[in-house]
Amino acid sequence: MYSFDIQRPTSVADAVAALGTDEAQPLGGGQTLIPTLKQRLAAPSVLVSLSAIAEMKGVCTMDDGRLSIGGGTTHATVAAEASSYPALAALAGNIGDPAVRSRGTIGGSLANNDPSACYPAAALASGATIVTNAREIPADDYFQGMFATALDEGEIITEVRFPVPEKGAYMKFEQPASRFALVGVFVAKFSDGVRVAVTGASEDGVFRWSEAEAALSSNFSADAVPAAPSGDGMISDLHGSGAYRAHLVGVMTKRAVAAAS
Ligand SMILES: Cc1cc2nc3c(=O)[nH]c(=O)nc-3n(C[C@H](O)[C@H](O)[C@H](O)COP(=O)(O)OP(=O)(O)OC[C@H]3O[C@@H](n4cnc5c(N)ncnc54)[C@H](O)[C@@H]3O)c2cc1C
């Protein structure tokens, strides 16, 4: 690990100011960033910890019914407090292990946008809004490929707003060593249609499976899930081939619909 200074502001405004300095980087729960630093794959001169910013923590229901989650809220807190959105609470409760869940944050997960992470599927399937210190970004515009997002340098995810569907479920086929998703599918049924988001499978990161969305919007049943997509463009690695992952997309979607029903 290269040496760095650390700052621990107590407000979003102070964090933004601290991130204005050269080569400063936000630190959430450190579950991804600290191992990266240990491997000397990043060398920020300043880490700006977001862990003391009270305004970025907590779960509450907004007047319009959406669930608001502070960007610095840990997975464990979401699992415990997002009871009005059971599928989301269950997803958070199955991330990694207790140590990861007690430190890792929703803002860190969405900023990192790991192609096998769970929260990106929830945000995309729910049509969530990613709120930063500067703007509000619809999930459909936020995810821009593997580890790529719409965030600008120094921009902080302060909050995520989730519309709560009538029915929803997340099913992941776990990579057993890490519990990341080999393939994970989040299905959300709203009054005006169904959204289906897939993580872990595509070389382009999380994506919406439009054929399944159209079929399930007409008939919300596991039997209506279309044939699995092609393995072209799917991740192929030591854990599974692209064709295997494509097959899992179909299987996990059926299981998610069955669980939501
Ligand atoms: C053993 C293990 C198992 C895991 N299993 C899973 C799993 O099953 N499913 C899953 O989804 N994830 C899993 N993870 C990842 C975990 O969810 C991490 O918490 C997450 O990827 C990063 O969140 P963090 O708060 O720790 O961010 P950090 O590691 O602190 O930061 C990650 C990146 O996000 C940036 N950042 C952090 N917070 C913000 C913010 N609020 N705004 C803008 N940028 C920010 C940082 O600068 C950095 O670039 C696992 C991790 C480990 C170590």
pLDDT digits (tens, 9 = 90+) for 192-212: 999 999 999 999 999 999 999
Residues 228, 221: Cα–Cα separation, whole Å: 15
Residue range(s) occupied by CATH 3.30.390.50 in the chain: 167-260
Contact residues for 28 (Cβ-Cβ < 8 A; gap 6+):
50, 51, 71, 72, 104, 105, 107, 108, 111
Ligand 1 pocket residue status of 157, Cβ below 6 Å: yes
Q: Return the CATH fold of 5-49.
A: 3.30.43
Does the reported pTM lie above 0.95? yes
Residue with the nearest Cα to atom 47 of ligand 1? 26
pLDDT at 22: 75
pLDDT at 187: 98
Pocket test for ligand 1, best of 8, 75, 100, 155 (most atoms within 8 A of CB): 100
CATH of domain 56-162: 3.30.465.10
pLDDT at 178: 86
Residue with the nearest Cα to atom 10 of ligand 1? 117
In the predicted model, residues of the chain with pLDDT beneath 50 are none
pLDDT at 203: 96
Strands (E), the chain: 5-7, 24-27, 46-49, 59-61, 67-70, 129-132, 136-138, 157-162, 167-174, 181-190, 193-199, 207-208
Residue range(s) occupied by CATH 3.30.43.10 in the chain: 5-49
Burial of 102 (0-12, 13-18, 19+ CB in 10 A): middle
Distance 198 CA to ligand 1 centre (A): 18
**Residues facing 198 on adjacent strands:** 185, 207
Residues 76, 174: Cα–Cα separation, whole Å: 19
Residue range(s) occupied by CATH 3.30.465.10 in the chain: 56-162
The CATH architecture annotation of domain 167-260 reads 2-Layer Sandwich (3.30)
Residue with the nearest Cα to atom 37 of ligand 1? 108
Strands 46-49 and 24-27: parallel
Distance 47 CA to ligand 1 centre (A): 15
Pair 112, 151: CB distance under 8 Å: no
Pair 74, 102: CB distance under 8 Å: yes
Pair 4, 45: CB distance under 8 Å: yes
